[in-house]
Structure 1
Amino acid sequence: MSPPLYDFSIPLFIHGLGTLSHIIKKGEEYANEKGNPLSELVEWRLTPDMKPLSFQVQTACDTAKNTVAQIFGTEPVFIDDNETTIEALQARIAKTIELLKAADASKFAGKEEVEVIFKAGRMERLMTGQSYLTSFALPNFFFHLNTAYAILRTKGVPIGKLDYLTSFFTDE
């Protein structure tokens, strides 16, 4: 049995990124079907004052991979936020999944109480590994995953609840 901190992070992140990849693929198919340039798809937004689809993907990926680094107390793998195509977004998702799959489950043992310094802008907060995961990482990850879903759905992409949940039903 793997440590709980692993069980409630890495598999959820991997499944969520699988969902993200799937719904973006559906968005690509929809854009092609409607004759919309794929270059516009990465810039779709819910509202003009919100960040685009590309940002939602980048942030979901960063949250997932950086959580491992935060909990282990290591430097996160840096990925430049320069994706301007669907292919580049899919590559970023695949790279993040690869990094997550490489995380050694046994190294999560006992990390529930490790000190994590959470920084956001000028705010800095000391948290435990468990509170970082449950109070920031998972909510932030799912916020950006859900926002990507909402962007695609509001643009008419035919996705539904099963498109969102199917990746979570796999055993990977």
Structure 2
Amino acid sequence: MPVPLYEISVPIFIRGLNALSHILAEAEKYAKEKDIPISEFIEARLYPDMLPLTFQIQTCSDISKSAIVRVAGTEPVVMEDNESTIEQLQERIAKTIGILKSVKPEDLEGKEDKEVIVKSKTVELKFIGRNYFQHHSLPNFLFHVTTAYAILRSKGVPLGKRDYLKSFYPGIPI
């Protein structure tokens, strides 16, 4: 029996957003301890041609929200992408988690084969519901969660694998 779409999407998005919230809190704590301006983290990039930490977090929010809209057909919730502080980023994460928690398993039932089209400036990708989550939105989401982690780690924030994974293993000490 296949795993329901809800189980391969909403809980994973929420856990990833919780991981982001945790690593942001650790960055804020570290910045205060070391008297580092938090803007050094907010504006940080892994490489000059990559986008900053704020973009990574905004993108995680957007991917998770839009994935549900595309498959479940729920109303989109627009966010301005204008966050510039840790507090604003934490608020965005919390708001996104709230949106995801409002999704019910039945909202995704029977949508495994629903056509999902993703258009960009250069390409149009076609999926069915299950493949869209498994092969597009989840890998993309996790890429940006990992990139946010890597940006903060590269700035010296004392994060380890456990900081990233503990949200994905609820109730299990790692």
Please state whether the residue corresponding to 1:6 is helix, strand or coil.
coil
Tell me if 1:93 matches 2:93: yes
Contact 2:41–2:155 (8 Å) recurs in 1: no
Looking at structure 2, the residues matched to 162 and 169 of structure 1 have their Cα atoms a distance apart, in angstroms, of 10
Please state whether the residue corresponding to 1:113 is helix, strand or coil.
coil
Pairwise CA distance, 1:104: 1.4
Q: 1:30-45 counterparts in 2 under 5 A?
A: 30-45=30-45
Pairwise CA distance, 1:41: 1.8
Over 6 Å off, 4+ runs: none
Looking at structure 1, the residues matched to 37 and 130 of structure 2 have their Cα atoms a distance apart, in angstroms, of 43
Looking at structure 1, the residues matched to 140 and 125 of structure 2 have their Cα atoms a distance apart, in angstroms, of 16
Of the structure 1 ranges 118-127 and 85-94, higher mean CA displacement relative to structure 2 is found in 118-127
Looking at structure 1, the residues matched to 72 and 36 of structure 2 have their Cα atoms a distance apart, in angstroms, of 43
Contact 2:42–2:53 (8 Å) recurs in 1: yes
Please list every run of 5 or more consecutive structure 2 residues that lacks an aligned counterpart in the other structure.
none
TM-score normalised per structure 1: 0.94
One-letter code aligned to 1:97: I
The alignment-based identity, stated in percent, is 53
Q: Deviations over 1:72-102 (max 9, x none)?
A: 2344211110000000000000000000000
Residue in structure 1 matched with residue 71 of structure 2 by the alignment:
71
Residue in structure 2 matched with residue 17 of structure 1 by the alignment:
17
Contact 2:117–2:126 (8 Å) recurs in 1: yes
Pairwise CA distance, 1:39: 2.4
Looking at structure 2, the residues matched to 95 and 35 of structure 1 have their Cα atoms a distance apart, in angstroms, of 29
Pairwise CA distance, 1:35: 1.0
Residue in structure 2 matched with residue 5 of structure 1 by the alignment:
5
Q: 1:93-132 counterparts in 2 under 5 A?
A: 93-132=93-132
Residue in structure 2 matched with residue 52 of structure 1 by the alignment:
52
Residue in structure 2 matched with residue 62 of structure 1 by the alignment:
62
One-letter code aligned to 2:132: Y
Residue in structure 2 matched with residue 27 of structure 1 by the alignment:
27
Tell me if 1:160 matches 2:132: no
One-letter code aligned to 2:71: I
Looking at structure 2, the residues matched to 168 and 125 of structure 1 have their Cα atoms a distance apart, in angstroms, of 29
Tell me if 1:169 matches 2:163: no
Residue in structure 2 matched with residue 136 of structure 1 by the alignment:
136
Q: Deviations over 1:90-147 (max 9, x none)?
A: 0000000000000011121111100111112231122101111111100100000000
Contact 1:118–1:132 (8 Å) recurs in 2: no
Superposed CA RMSD: 1.2
Contact 2:56–2:148 (8 Å) recurs in 1: yes
Contact 1:73–1:116 (8 Å) recurs in 2: no
Aligned length: 169
One-letter code aligned to 1:150: A
TM-score normalised per structure 2: 0.93
